Amino acid sequence: MADGNSSDEEFGDEWTLYATRPEWKDVEPLKQDDGENPVVMIAYSEKFNDVFSYLRAVISKQEKSLRALGLTQDAAKLNAANYTVWQYRRDILKALNCNLYDELDYIETVIEDNPKNYQVWHHRRVIVEWLNDPSRELELTENILNMDAKNYHAWQHRQWAIKSYGLFEDELVYVDRLISEDMRNNSAWNERFFVLKHTGFTPEVLEREITYVMNRIRLIKNNESPWNFLRGLLQQGDGKLGQFQEIVDFCEDLYDSGIRTPYLLAFLVDLYEEKYFEARGEANREEYRTKVQDLCESMANQHDKIRAKYWRYIAENFRRKLAAEENQNGL
């Protein structure tokens, strides 16, 4: 059994060692075997050694009882990240046919204390699957996200519940509230895209979402999240950045009004490169070439200097494409 760092914080002063409990006198504790010459001896607390020695003994005997269930609870207090503790707890729950809704109540309190612990979220998922009842999961994850809006485990669990049980109906309303509270909440933008991807990008949905994201960008221009969301939307159409003239006009209006956020300029670089190679034979083609080169230079020297090498690479790569096209055409 892989024991981790111990924590005695949740144990009161009146807590009694298992070694001194009469009801456990029939069990011979199994101490951890670190070998004859361990490289590093971990200084486990007395409580930690006591609890896990009895847990090892219980597991070795495959005892599945209410007292063993209580032992796993104490072990989880000491190390909530221990996989063996949770796996054996599940074995006991199944063997005793325990009330799993009580277990949901219990693991909710554990998650509230350990919201970034993979094992506790995994345990929660298994219990929900056994019950085939996700009715508490959106409220639970919302409560955790209220504490930390970018908790990866909470978002992962929420998406699992929504996708597995078809709980999409009100999710856009929830996500819109989160975005309204913090438009830089990348997790909320990701969740919005997750919902749309699974409910379908119809032409009507694309039009609605384009309007939505443009309105958000107008409020905060220098916000990476909606720009990434916009690119994701356009990939759901024909994949071209210039497929919607309203987007082209929107970005050019921002630029003409003096906005120089790197996210706008990066979008325009890709947009004008796309338009250049689409505009073969058109009179304004050279204008797109100049815009791509000027914007890359502007990014490298002024607006995104930390990635200057990247933008010079983009400009050079564009020039190579131009040369290849000229060679192909025999120019």
Residue positions annotated with a catalytic role: 116
Say how far apart CA 149 and CA 159 lie, in whole Å.
14
Give me the sign of the Cα torsion angle 182, 186, 189, 194: negative
Structure tokens at 198: 């699974």
3-state secondary structure of 82: coil
| CA 319 distance to own-chain centroid | 38
Type of residue numbered 47: K
Say how far apart CA 245 and CA 208 lie, in whole Å.
15
Picking from 224, 177, 170, 223, the residue whose alpha carbon sits closest to that of residue 199 is: 170
> What is the residue-wise DSSP string for 154-204?
HHHHHHHHHHHHT--TTHHHHHHHHHHH-TT-HHHHHHHHHHHHHH---HH
Say how far apart CA 300 and CA 305 lie, in whole Å.
5
- Cβ–Cβ < 8 Å for 185, 179: yes
- Cβ–Cβ < 8 Å for 153, 121: yes
- Cβ–Cβ < 8 Å for 46, 17: yes
Say how far apart CA 80 and CA 111 lie, in whole Å.
9
- Cβ–Cβ < 8 Å for 189, 263: no
Structure tokens at 131: 């019950």
Say how far apart CA 64 and CA 142 lie, in whole Å.
34
- Cβ–Cβ < 8 Å for 120, 154: no
Using CA atoms of 180, 260, 271, 239 in order, give the dihedral in degrees to the nearest 10: -20
